[in-house]
Amino acid sequence: MTHTLHRTGEIESLKKDYVVLVMSCRGFNDAGAAPKLVEALKILARYNPINMGDMKTGSIWTKDHNFEKIVEKATDTSIFHGVYKDIETVKMVLKDLKDANLGMSVVVSGLYNETLNAAREIGLTPHTVMVSLGIWGKTDLLPEEPEILDIQTMCGHGLISKNLVKKLAKDVKLGIISSDEAARTLAKCCTCGIFNVERAKELIEKLVKK
């Protein structure tokens, strides 16, 4: 899965942004996988994720949605996500998933050295490593403010508009809404639950100061 891979930003900011994804493999072990995936979701929830959800049904920020509804709608092909703000928490999540031995695929997105070292510390050997090579093509069409792109790339399916980010940042500057409210509004756009609300709040505040 690559929709969590292309997050941009400064190193110190990305050190507060990790995504753990759990899924079955279609045609291999998806039959009857729902209970195992729900067990994995409960492990993700155990460590107070900033965001979490199922790509197929929505995140905890989706209207009228919460953890219980995500569990209720779980299927054999659900793709569950949990977002965390530090690598130490990710280690605990991975250790519990390892101990549970559910047989599901687990993907961790974050800074290369941080995630690789975390896996090694708890005795895990990555099956595959994917590295983002950045953005190619008409880069002149990207937003001038790096903070806007950093926010946009936290939704791997491109559902966050740069104009919405600008509008919300302006509203924060005018005192119409708080940076926390702006971040929560953006989180609702990312249905699968990989948007880091806390990091978005910090980036909006940085954008406003400019």
Q: Is residue 166 part of a domain?
A: yes
Residue 127 covered by a domain: no
Please report, for residues 77, 113, 166, the alpha-carbon distance to residue 129 in angstroms, rounded to integers and kept in the order given.
Answer: 23, 11, 34
What is the pLDDT at residue 57? Answer: 85
* pLDDT for residue 1: 59
> What is the pLDDT at residue 2?
80
Q: How far apart are CA 198 and CA 179, in angstroms?
A: 10
CATH of the domain at 104: 3.30.70
What DSSP string runs through 6-36?
Answer: -----HHHHTT-EEEEEE--TTTT-TT-HHH
Q: Residue 81 is part of which domain span? A: 11-121
> Is residue 1 in some structural domain?
no
Q: Same domain for 106 and 34?
A: yes
pLDDT tens-digit series, residues 74-88 = 999 999 999 999 999
Neighbours of 133 (CB within 10 A): 7
Residue 6 lies in a domain: no
Q: What pTM value is reported for the model?
A: 0.94
Tens digit of each residue's pLDDT (9 = 90 or more) over 12-55 = 999 999 999 999 999 999 999 999 999 999 999 999 999 999 98
User: So what's the pLDDT on residue 172?
Assistant: 98
Within 13 Å of residue 111, how many CA atoms lie on the same side as its CB? 17
Structural domain includes residue 5: no
96 and 145 share a domain? no
Into how many domains does the chain fold? Answer: 2
